[in-house]
Amino acid sequence: MNITGCVLSGGQGSRMSGEDKGLVLFQERPLIAHVLDRLKPQVQQIIINANRNLERYRAWGYPVVEDEVDLYSGPLAGIERGLAMATTPWVAFVPCDSPFIPLNLIERLFETLIAQQSQCAYVVSAEGPQPVFCLLNKELHDDLLASLNAGHKKLIAWLHKHSYSEVFFDHNEFFINLNTQAQLEQYSHD
């Protein structure tokens, strides 16, 4: 597997009082630190997508890329940058606010994608589709850029334009997004 991992940390943090979610402390460390710890053993390279606090993100030692199309327009803009900047044929995406991602996430996405000869694969949990946890062929970049420039912003609708695989995970807690202070406090004690 020759895969780049891209952590999506370019949102506005609107449900977190406008805070930069990747840098919000969870169990005394920034959320993104937990995500990077779990992602790093699964990929060959890492890119961070962020739109503010760029120097703080660069302190982790990975390339940091900003959205270019419609700043803060959602995960598709960050995914576009990850696909553009990656030098590997496959790029995996995870959000910065999900500190419990499974340690076999990328392996399972890749195995399913290869077995089904798909261009992309994304997670489905007991809660339903979790498309921001996905693995994409870098060759999808030009189509994604064209879709963004045409005003399309729905990730799952864009994924479904291509040959895709859904990968089911039993444990929904792997994919919990800590979007609010209440959730941060709840999971800090679990």
Summarize pLDDT for 109-135 with one digit per residue, the tens: 999 999 999 999 999 998 899 999 999
**Are the C-beta atoms of 49 and 6 separated by less than 8 Å?**
yes
The answer to pTM > 0.85 is: yes
User: In terms of Cα–Cα distance, which of 66, 44, 154, 54 is closest to 110?
Assistant: 44
**Are the C-beta atoms of 23 and 58 separated by less than 8 Å?**
no
Tell me the C-alpha distance between 149 and 189, whole Å. 43
Which secondary-structure segment (H or E) carries 47? strand 45-50
Under DSSP, the state recorded for 133 is E
pLDDT band of 72, cuts 50, 70, 90: low
> Of all residues in the chain, what percent carry a pLDDT higher than 90?
69
Task: Record the tokens describing residue 171, joined without a space.
Answer: 């444990």
Tell me the C-alpha distance between 40 and 112, whole Å. 20
Residue-level pLDDT at 15: 52
- Cα dihedral across residues 38, 105, 93, 151: positive or negative: negative
Instruction: Read off the pLDDT of each residue in 151-158 and give the average, rounded to a whole number.
Output: 91
Domains and CATH numbers, the chain: 3-188 (3.90.550.10)
Least confident of 4-13, 44-53, 156-165: 4-13
Residue-level pLDDT at 127: 86
Is the predicted pLDDT of residue 10 greater than 80, yes or no? no
